[in-house]
Structure 1
């Protein structure tokens, strides 16, 4: 029964992330076909990121205080309706509105599934790896489904399938007395929250225009899909083996390899070079994401709120980063946006190491005590 529960959780995450990934790759290209400028494409991505940050935190807090199961099912059902609406967008403004609704849906299910997985097994690498597999499959949609609108319709079907599976899941609800905002939760995870924000903001400046950057150096739709998928498929094989290591070291290594990844992008002369650099990106994100999730989840009982706040940080980065990326690429070109990410990742690594060292000077870091939340029968 335990293995069947794991399969259901993994399947829901795989299908949902596949739907999100497919739309994420296509949106900049679809927006361009509707007449959007690079700056407007950045704004569309920013609205999605803003919705994501609001949704992630509220849903994380809600999952600690009220009902995780109902929240998960509702988010998947609504997403199955919202994501196909992309295909009906006649202008960039309409697309912007739909992306806002999509961000609300996409911010809910990852938090609930991550907390559910951690509390059941104490590890997240295997579960999160199926999310990476979903991102990989979704990235390949553009390689075989050439009509952008069909990609959005397919995303709706994937969410609908995830919703049907979720109806058979046994999601444990908790009733914790958690304030809507707790500085203690932020303080415990500050080294991760702060460095993750800077790194992810810098990365999202690139991701907002990444398909356009790839087109600029010679990649067609098929190779754009392959390049995206190379990263995420590689994550699927890396993530299950790294959650046994110290979470702080995982985060530091992830930031270092992120820096090296964007240096490799900047030095790339064509899309084949970027394809090779995707293996480095896969390693960096696997280390950073699994390490960050584990770091915040193991530092208290309020795991839904802590993981949700990480999603909020990710959303802030997804809001600010694309605006910067759109503006920089509009003014100076795509490669300048990549250099911005190089500087950002270096700053994130320096900040993380500074905060960790300061924390260790104040008191030796002991292994965090993970207690069990009181769960309703």
Structure 2
């Protein structure tokens, strides 16, 4: 049994590595390709938004199905196979419309496996396993961005990068066939609707979404900023993304594996969004490649704290709806991509690329305010419950004393 658990843990790490390698291999050049095919920052934003819409719906739908039927492994396999076909299809895009179509397909496919994979990766009371699996996603992003940047540098072609992405997803599907994890559908207690689940965890989702709207606005134009204003290309461009991913991998496997308490988890989210605000201010003021490097290190730390901190809270507080709650977080991330990509494209079109980064910093600070207020409310609720328990215990003792005196 222990051997099976160890094998599944290794496969889950490999799957997250493969998934993020594929996403990293393609995402690095999609904004540049979209800008080349359309010649418009606004259309770049619209293509990013289309991807986000389909992915958000897919996350929510398939995450709920995974909780309802308990067939987590099947959803992981289906998602990887569908993603393989979708990313191979990117090589066929020849104008803005065909690129939009394949991005929509990719959004649906990549939303199929996420919630189920998070649920399989988390043991109750043990954050270390989840941190390990998620960290390999960061390592995968590092490998994917570097591999695709080298391929593009050597061949001057985006097509091979997309073929690489599809091939990696296909390797992930083959790996998923060996998963032995089984979830009994009779144990799945899905109560209420997704709307009720969203309300229950509303402040976590809101804080996360505000930060990610700001981040997505910058990410929609960041490769263009690096390419046009800082004159980076090929391997240099990939190395900027690699620094962030490597920092995430190291930080998740050291600091984040040790997180246990409720207090530390909420504080991680707060510090994560505050550091994110500092990152975007650094982007705004940067003039050379050297200025971006410390910002990428800080970005890796801040994202690790925010993302894993949010996952820890959701997985702990939503037993029976773990795939749904984490998939809904991914949906909020995708919705943020929709809004952020549109905002990024519009602001860049009329106010310049650097203005987007200033706006991103302000939105991250707003996220920090929401996160702090959420923790204060939770502490207040805990204090009220504590006082109620004390009052109840004192009342019981007083009643027993009266019975003894009158008996």
Supply the distance in 1 between the matched residues of 2:86 and 2:221 (Cα, whole angstroms). Answer: 24
Task: State the match for 1:159 in structure 2.
Answer: 169
Task: State the match for 2:288 in structure 1.
Answer: 270
* 1:33 aligned onto 2:36: yes
Task: State the match for 1:232 in structure 2.
Answer: 245
1:323 to 319, 342, 365: 342
After superposing on structure 2, the runs of 4+ consecutive aligned residues of structure 1 that deviate more than 4 Å are none
Supply the distance in 2 between the matched residues of 1:323 and 1:213 (Cα, whole angstroms). Answer: 16
SS at match of 2:317: coil
Task: State the match for 1:71 in structure 2.
Answer: 75
Aligned length: 367
Supply the distance in 1 between the matched residues of 2:138 and 2:353 (Cα, whole angstroms). Answer: 26
Contact 1:38 1:330 in 2 (8 A): yes
* 1:294 aligned onto 2:312: yes
* 1:130 aligned onto 2:142: no
TM-score (norm 2): 0.87
* 1:308 aligned onto 2:314: no
- Structure number with the higher helix fraction is 2
1:337 to 335, 353, 356: 356
Task: State the match for 2:396 in structure 1.
Answer: none
Supply the distance in 1 between the matched residues of 2:112 and 2:38 (Cα, whole angstroms). Answer: 31
**Unpaired stretches in structure 1, ≥5 consecutive residues:** 367-377
Task: State the match for 1:370 in structure 2.
Answer: none
Supply the distance in 2 between the matched residues of 1:261 and 1:174 (Cα, whole angstroms). Answer: 44
Supply the distance in 2 between the matched residues of 1:365 and 1:326 (Cα, whole angstroms). Answer: 46
Deviation per residue, 1:89-111 (Å, 9 max, x gap): 11111101110110111122222
Task: State the match for 2:400 in structure 1.
Answer: none
SS at match of 2:183: coil
Supply the distance in 2 between the matched residues of 1:290 and 1:356 (Cα, whole angstroms). Answer: 17
Specify whether residues 55 and 364 from structure 1 end up closer, same or farther in structure 2 by C-alpha distance, changes over 3 A only: farther
Supply the distance in 2 between the matched residues of 1:120 and 1:357 (Cα, whole angstroms). Answer: 25
* 1:261 aligned onto 2:279: yes
Alignment of 1:1-377 (within 5 A): 1=3, 2-66=5-69, 67-119=71-123, 122-123=126-127, 124-146=130-152, 147-175=157-185, 176-179=188-191, 181-215=193-227, 216-240=229-253, 241-245=255-259, 246-301=264-319, 302-364=321-383
SS at match of 2:38: coil
Which protein is bigger by CA-based radius of gyration? 2
Supply the distance in 1 between the matched residues of 2:202 and 2:55 (Cα, whole angstroms). Answer: 20
Contact 2:243 2:297 in 1 (8 A): yes
Contact 1:13 1:110 in 2 (8 A): no
Contact 1:130 1:236 in 2 (8 A): yes
Shift of 1:70: 1.3
Shift of 1:290: 0.6
More displaced, 280-289 or 136-145?
Answer: 136-145
Task: State the match for 2:394 in structure 1.
Answer: none
Supply the distance in 1 between the matched residues of 2:207 and 2:198 (Cα, whole angstroms). Answer: 13
TM-score (norm 1): 0.93
The RMSD of aligned alpha carbons is 1.8
Specify whether residues 32 and 195 from structure 1 end up closer, same or farther in structure 2 by C-alpha distance, changes over 3 A only: same
Supply the distance in 1 between the matched residues of 2:293 and 2:79 (Cα, whole angstroms). Answer: 34
Supply the distance in 1 between the matched residues of 2:39 and 2:23 (Cα, whole angstroms). Answer: 21
**Unpaired stretches in structure 2, ≥5 consecutive residues:** 386-407
Contact 1:48 1:103 in 2 (8 A): yes
